[in-house]
Amino acid sequence: MAIQAIGRSAASRRGDRSSRAAAPSWAARQWALWSRMLAPLKPLDAPRGRATAWDASWPLQRELTSASRARHLVTAQLDDWALDELVDTAELLVSELVTNALRHTQGPLRLNLRLRHSRLLCEVEDTEPAGPVRNVVDLDAEGGRGTELLDLLADAWGNIRTATGKTIWFELQAEDRHRTERGARSVMTAA
């Protein structure tokens, strides 16, 4: 019982139903944590099986042109999803992740994009289980700033070990269109 109480707020311990409704159940959190490990393994050179209107996935070959292809795929997909404000940042960060995967791993790669509400999740999967390493970089060095770029430009980023290797991901927040439209109307009515 003591283990289950860890992490609960005082309101949920008192039985406040509004805080319980907002937080997912223990079982839902555990299922979310283990869903990737329980899913059947698919080779990275095959597209993911659960594609929807808000999910996109592409296998990438181990070629010098794969970073360029990844940039074009991201640009086209974000254009289809009408997320033009995220194109430049997503294109730069995906290019960085794919380039690093090509330089530091062996085997196939896969690029995944997901849009949930106003958050864009970009993932690059590879077959190497070791995560990215932060290095101290000289000012005149030509490389080694990938994690700094992710820190500066992404809202969140990280890596997840999977059964086939790892996934490095980042999230970007899209502008809330309704909030922006309401703000623009209120500015026009005030003027």
Give the pTM: 0.65
Check residue 175 and give its pLDDT.
80
Place of tokens 């086209």: 76
pLDDT: which is higher, 130 or 46: 130
What stretch of H or E contains 109? strand 109-116
b/e sequence 160-177, b meaning 16+ C-beta within 10 Å: eebebbbbbbbbbebeee
- Residues 71, 91, 146: CA angle, nearest 5 degrees: 110
Q: Answer yes or no: is pLDDT of 119 > 60.
A: yes
pLDDT in tens, 23-60: 677 887 777 666 655 554 555 555 555 557 788 999 99
